Structure 1
């Protein structure tokens, strides 16, 4: 994940109360109309509960756009 990706994830999750599971992260980002690249990155997250946005950012694969290139 690049610094720009990390900033986008942090922005999309700003204000979210943690801990939060993957589905809650996705719903929150979708409700905030996060850009498609950020949503794609969040969809690649492993299932689980995340304690903060830094943990989310570190869990996203290095190249999330390649993880789900069928879109």
Structure 2
């Protein structure tokens, strides 16, 4: 499962923070994100994300 942080951020473009994991996934699906991006988001911890940097920080370990 390889995808770039840029792909993840593109899928989350224009999302209104703060959001939880479920909202991240729903937004990405609504904007036709790739299955790889969806998998990465599904692997994120269940918590509230206050900005794109917080999502990227969690994603860096993938």
**Computing the radius of gyration over CA atoms, which structure comes out larger, 1 or 2?**
1
Q: How many residues align?
A: 61
Cα pair 1:44 1:61 within 8 Å, conserved: no
Gaps of 5+ in 1: 64-71
Gaps of 5+ in 2: none
State the partner residue of 1:23.
Answer: 22
Quick one: distance in 2 between partners of 1:54 and 1:7? Answer: 12
State the partner residue of 2:58.
Answer: 59
Offset from partner CA, 1:13-55 (integer Å, 9 cap, x none): 0000000000000000000010111111000000000011111
TM-score, scaled to structure 2? 0.88
Alignment RMSD (CA, Å): 1.6
TM-score, scaled to structure 1? 0.78
State the partner residue of 2:47.
Answer: 48
